[in-house]
Copies of this chain bind each other. A is one copy, B any other.
């Protein structure tokens, strides 16, 4: 159960989302990521950077300093660090070479800025999760940010939540209405090296008001598929396509995705960004607004449940022994993959 591994709550050698393209500017942001304090900023040319966020001189968090051109200046005694993290100026006497900030590899693929906090040598050879596959920054798609949450719960509870969408019919019953019926379909699983997908089909259904409003061209019957698609530890899509008619051979109407971006801040807190994306009516601003608002209301409901679970886990309260059912196959598989990644970094197999 939780934590997956008592000694190490997450794998390090992975790309994680450090922040959003539109929140990082020529100004210092401080943020806890994977249990470390990091600063994020853009240089004068606009490229994003991530450095350790604590001055090694007297431990001031560096977001209390400021940028001076392309240098980070500590707000306490004025030490200046370059983009590599080296201390290149100290007001009175020079700092020793050991006075440096760790530098983390960063890559931007709008709307996301990714960070690598593990073995830097492996960052080069590890591709980013293919975010365009789910419509984030992809041609023909429109994506909109819904909401950011400083979730007071460990990230693994959120992954569990996303891999068991049968909860749509309960926590979110009031928002989902008839469209939540798909949650009661039997899920099936497909898996590849970088991806785990749990799918549910809902074929040959009468068109409900929600889908009618999205796709006015629908006839009387529709078919949909709902995937939970893990493209990377911190990038999970919940969404899928709609077809006119009794099965997936019908006319494709479009896909709508609820994209969950999650990065552990610490063992019990998670940065959680929610996006919506779609490949139909992409010029319709009102529809973007409505879908982002709906996603926010859904995530608000999850927040209440997840933080309540976290409070129980973090308490000294005795917990029942966890029970899983056949429908939990996807969530258990997701946990298993996470645990494999974590254990591979700890054991001798890393060197192999």
Task: Please list the residues of chain A having a beta carbon within 8 angstroms of any beta carbon in chain B.
Answer: 32, 35-37, 52, 54-61, 64, 73-78, 90-96, 98-99, 101-102, 157, 160, 164, 166-167, 169-171, 183-187, 266, 304-305, 308-309, 312-313, 316-328
Contacts and interface: CB of A to CB of B under 8 A. Distances in A.
B312 A54 contact: yes
A94 B324 CA distance: 10
Nearest to A94: B325
B92 A59 contact: no
A3 to B, nearest CB: 13
A61 B313 CA distance: 11
Contact of A327 (B74, B92, B322): B92
Given A56-B321, A98-B321, A305 B76 contact: yes
Given A77-B170, A171-B75, A91 B184 contact: yes
A56 B322 contact: yes
Contacts of A58: 157, 160, 164, 309, 322
B323 A92 contact: no
A250 to B, nearest CB: 25
A64 B321 CA distance: 20
B164 A36 contact: no
Given A91-B184, A92-B327, A305-B64, A56 B320 contact: yes
B305 A75 contact: yes
A323 B186 contact: no
B92 A56 contact: no
Contacts of A185: 92
Contacts of A313: 59
Contacts of A157: 58
